[in-house]
């Protein structure tokens, strides 16, 4: 069976930046299972999986625009340390926080801590990067009607929650 929308894909992947530095891999652990066409993966990778089948091994490139988008300088903000009153001693560079924005809540990462300010970045850590993937397709099967209606893969015992 070939990968298409509403198929369940099991695959291993290795993702690298454009200089060949490894970023993440599933090859030393469990493969990734997902429902194709539901936006579980970045668009550029999901598009390149179509028409592949179990046993296929391939490499592909995904430009930043079809990965995590371009970086936006406006997503980096310096805020007063007083906004973190009560837990400023726990703050550290690299810490992820949830922040309220005009568009709703989003994750920001602490990138700098000064005497009286904290700089946070709302960009995805991989924003602005072109990515390269090594992919091995382990299995492809038709999704069940329940998986399609729920929008995600179910294990043998169901999905483990009520919809």
Q: What is the pLDDT of residues 23-66, one digit of tens each?
A: 999 999 999 999 999 999 999 999 999 999 999 999 999 999 99
Task: Identify which of 100, 133, 146, 118 has the alpha carbon closest to the alpha carbon of residue 109.
Answer: 118
**Which pLDDT score, from 0 to 100, does residue 105 have?**
87
Could you tell me the domains of the chain?
Answer: 7-68+127-150 (3.10.50.40), 73-121 (2.40.10.330)
**Which pLDDT score, from 0 to 100, does residue 155 have?**
74
**Which pLDDT score, from 0 to 100, does residue 10 have?**
97
C-alpha to C-alpha distance for 148 and 38, rounded to whole angstroms: 9
Q: What angle do CA 69, 70, 72 make, to 5 degrees?
A: 125
**Which pLDDT score, from 0 to 100, does residue 106 have?**
86
Dmax (CA) of the chain: 59
Mean pLDDT of all residues in the chain?
A: 92
| Tally of residues, the chain | 163
Give residue 81's pLDDT band: very low, low, confident or very high (50, 70, 90): very high
Residue 157 above 70 pLDDT? Answer: no
**Which pLDDT score, from 0 to 100, does residue 159 have?**
53
**Who contacts 107 (Cβ-Cβ below 8 Å, separation ≥6)?**
96, 97, 98, 99, 122
**Which pLDDT score, from 0 to 100, does residue 101 have?**
75
The pLDDT of 148-156, averaged and rounded, is 85
């Amino acid at each position: 069976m070939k990968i298409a929308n509403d198929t369940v894909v099991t695959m291993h992947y290795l993702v690298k930046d454009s200089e060949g530095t490894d970023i993440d891999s599933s090859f030393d652990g469990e493969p990734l299972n997902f429902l194709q066409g539901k936006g579980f993966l970045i668009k550029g990778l999901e598009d390149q999986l179509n028409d592949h089948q179990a046993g296929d091994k391939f490499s592909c490139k995904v430009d930043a625009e079809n990965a995590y988008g371009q970086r936006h300088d406006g997503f980096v903000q310096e805020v007063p340390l007083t906004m973190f009153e009560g837990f400023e001693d726990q703050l550290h560079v690299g810490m992820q926080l949830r922040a309220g924005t005009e568009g709703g809540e989003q994750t920001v990462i602490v990138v700098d801590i000064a005497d009286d300010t904290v700089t946070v970045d709302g960009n995805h850590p991989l924003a602005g990067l072109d990515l390269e993937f090594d992919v091995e397709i382990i299995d492809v099967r038709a999704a069940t009607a329940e998986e399609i209606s729920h929008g995600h893969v179910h294990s043998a015992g169901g999905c483990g929650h009520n919809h």
